[in-house]
Structure 1
């Protein structure tokens, strides 16, 4: 009887990506994690004539609070901070001492942020994306999300989710393919969900002396 009950508890976890994404959207209010990002650029010809893919890596920390707030801090190799406070999107390039400011509305529609911090449920997401289960890999349940609008920079998103319990799903990874053939894989670690985050987490004030650009 104990074994049967354990099996039923296991079976009650989300069994595919769309089910896991639905649980994530409905049950996750906030979260924070560390991340690594590997960007693979389109291959180009080497001196020997062979096609060689190029990669670059970065790492940092990430926090979000639904709806509409998140913070990415790239610590290495190029320090950069991206903050969405619900109304404004801030991008701070530390090396250039430059802040780019945009209205948040519409700027994130075809980005991972729309899946993490924006949409309330699958029905909302399906207004902007074609969603499909994309199998299981590396302990994650994957969803493929193709933007319905074809004029954006993002061609396709894949989100990998980890089903911890029937009512708790963690964000495990994102894979992004853009219109230039560039592929980015973000892998999250030490994920904490539904944590208390201070309001200052999602505030940004341009540093003194920084150039502020409003395209």
Structure 2
């Protein structure tokens, strides 16, 4: 009898843990309409046959978002780059090349990590583009796993880590085996942002590419 009770308790605990990631995402979507943070991003490429270890590169900058559908990544190191979604258009500005790429935001963001943070407003909406499930707790965080329903895209899996209900990590894997881990710090939830803060104007003299 004791073994049966123990097994039931363990099963219940496992079910509860699996629910935490979804609960954290649902709470994040419901309670946080905007935010600011700094971030560090580590991109690791698959190890080649002639390499002893995988190659990686680290960058850093700041991130801010405003629902629905507005966000800004400003990379400061090692190279300056800005990615802005203004609600209609996704802009990418490469400072060194003085080049701007402009794409329709609707076409570009359907099943991307950014959609989980800035575009989604509830679990039902996100579930149309992603298969969502909670992962096992680790590293002091609760995890959510999001797999795009469109299997033809480059994105394979996003793992979202929440620490005490606050967005802490995006762990992204693509179809080429590349892994990108963004770690967020210094969060300001519900920061006083407005749509005009996400307006982007290509710099004078920049070449603008519209694929």
Q: Is the pair's TM-score, using the shorter chain for normalization, greater than 0.5?
A: yes
2:19 and 2:134 in contact (8 A); partners too: no
Looking at secondary structure, tell me which structure has more strand per residue.
1
Any stretches of 5+ residues in structure 1 without a counterpart? Answer: 1-13, 164-168
Find the aligned partners of 2:89 and 2:101 in 1 and give their Cα distance: 10
Structure 1 residue corresponding to 2:34, chosen from 13, 30, 38: 30
Decide whether the 8 Å contact of 1:32 with 1:64 is kept in 2: yes
Between the two proteins, the alignment pairs up a number of residues equal to 194
Q: Which residue does the alignment assign to 2:182?
A: 186
Structure 2 unaligned blocks of 5 or more: 1-17
Q: Tell me which residue corresponds to 2:106.
A: 105
Partner of 2:69: 68
2:175 matches 1:171: no
Q: Secondary structure at the match of 1:136?
A: strand
1:206 aligned to 2:210? no
Shift of 1:139: 2.0
Match of 1:8? none
Aligned to 2:90: 89
> Secondary structure, in 3 states, of the residue corresponding to 1:25?
helix
3-state DSSP class of the match of 1:115? helix
Residues 1:179 and 1:82: Cα distance change in structure 2 (over 3 Å): same
> Where does structure 1 differ by over 2 angstroms across 4 or more consecutive aligned residues?
198-201
Cα pair 1:45 1:52 within 8 Å, conserved: no
Identify the structure with the greater helix proportion: 2
Q: Distance in 1 between matches of 2:104 and 2:97?
A: 21
Q: Distance in 1 between matches of 2:123 and 2:195?
A: 27
Conservation of the 8 A alpha-carbon contact between 2:66 and 2:194: no
The separation in 2 between residues aligned to 1:95 and 1:171, in whole angstroms, is: 31
Q: RMSD between aligned alpha carbons?
A: 1.4
Aligned to 2:149: 148
TM-score of the pair, normalised by structure 1: 0.87
CA-to-aligned-CA distance 1:23-79 (integer Å, 9 cap, x gap): 001111000000000000010133xxx542110000000000000000000000011
The corresponding residue for 1:56 is 57
Deviation at 1:16, TM superposition (A): 1.1
SS in 2 for 1:16: helix
TM-fit CA distance, 1:15? 6.6
